[in-house]
Amino acid sequence: MEILNVQNLHKTYGKGESQVRALKDVSFTMEKGTFCAVVGESGSGKSTLLNCIGALDTPTSGKVYLDGQDLFSMKEQKRTVFRRQNIGFVFQSFQLIAELTVEQNIVFPLLLDYQKPEQKRVDEILEVLGLSDRRHHLPGQLSGGQQQRVAIGRALITRPMLILADEPTGNLDSKSSRDVMELLVKASRLYQQTILMITHNINLTSSVDRVLRVTDGILTDLGGARE
Chain residues binding ligand ATP by CB under 6 A are 13-14, 20, 22, 40, 42-48
Nearer CB in complex with ligand ATP: 31/216: 216
- Please report, for residues 44, 78, 197, 217, the alpha-carbon distance to residue 40 in angstroms, rounded to integers and kept in the order given: 6, 32, 12, 10
| Whole-number Å distance between alpha carbons of 149 and 145 | 6
Dihedral pair phi/psi, residue 165, rounded to 5°: -120, 120
State in angstroms the smallest separation of the CB of 217 from ligand ATP.
7
Considering the complex, state which of residue 69 and residue 171 has its C-beta at the smaller distance from ligand ATP: 171
* Helix/strand/coil for 23: strand
| CA-atom Rg of the chain in angstroms | 17
User: CB 170 → ligand ATP: shortest distance, Å?
Assistant: 9
Q: Which is nearer to ligand ATP, 18 or 77 (CB)?
A: 18
**Cβ 49 to ligand ATP shortest distance, Å:** 7
CA 59/CA 92 separation, integer angstroms? 23
CB of 65 vs ligand ATP, minimal distance in Å: 21
Q: Which is nearer to ligand ATP, 87 or 187 (CB)?
A: 87
What span, in angstroms and rounded, lies between the C-alpha atoms of 11 and 227? 34
